[in-house]
Amino acid sequence: MSDLEALGLGVEYVPFKVELTHPETGLPLYDENGVQAFIEIDGQNSEAGEKLTRKAALRLQQQRRAGREAPIDLDRAREENADALAQVTRSWHLVNLDGKAVPAEAFPCNAANARQLYSRKATKWMADQVGAAFRDEANFIKT
């Protein structure tokens, strides 16, 4: 334990469970058994989150060294956002908009499926909710 932790100045970071809400009503999204849909993610201070930060900083540094400001490519930005969220996704319980659980065997939680989930227009609402939670550091501080 460091001196700062002994003084009570340190915090412990933990994963966060994003409880999904219906994109139209804003109400919690439950399956037929009453289990709320969720996506569990690591935060910016996790190993995966810090890796993303280093990658973004390196890309910005390379652009600056090349002496150019890169134009914003919205498609690339969406792909990078989907990839970043996929890298911090740990687990999920997905529920369709009709309240039916998506079987884990049909769509298991892995990087490729997460990338697909976050990159499709039809499921943008999930990417938006997960992205908002990821950006709020307070979600990941153990209380």
- Residues 48-60 as b/e (b if ≥16 CB within 10 A, e otherwise) read bbeebeeeeeeee
For the stretch 59-98, pLDDT in tens is 767 767 776 666 767 788 788 889 999 999 999 999 999 9
The pTM is what? 0.84
pLDDT above 80 (res 52): no
d(CA 128, CA 32): 24
What is the 8-class DSSP label of residue 138? G
Q: What is the CA radius of gyration of the chain?
A: 18
Q: What is the mean pLDDT of residues 52-58?
A: 75
> Do residues 92 and 15 touch, judged by C-beta distance below 8 A?
no
Residue 68 pLDDT: 64
* Length of the chain measured in residues: 143
Three-state secondary structure call for residue 141: strand
Question: What are the domain boundaries of the chain?
Answer: 13-140
* pLDDT > 90? residue 8: no
Rounded Cα distance between 37 and 99, Å, is: 9
What is the average pLDDT across 106-112? 97
- List the single range of 14-23, 56-65, 117-126 with lowest mean pLDDT: 56-65
What is the rounded end-to-end Cα distance, in angstroms, of the chain? Answer: 18
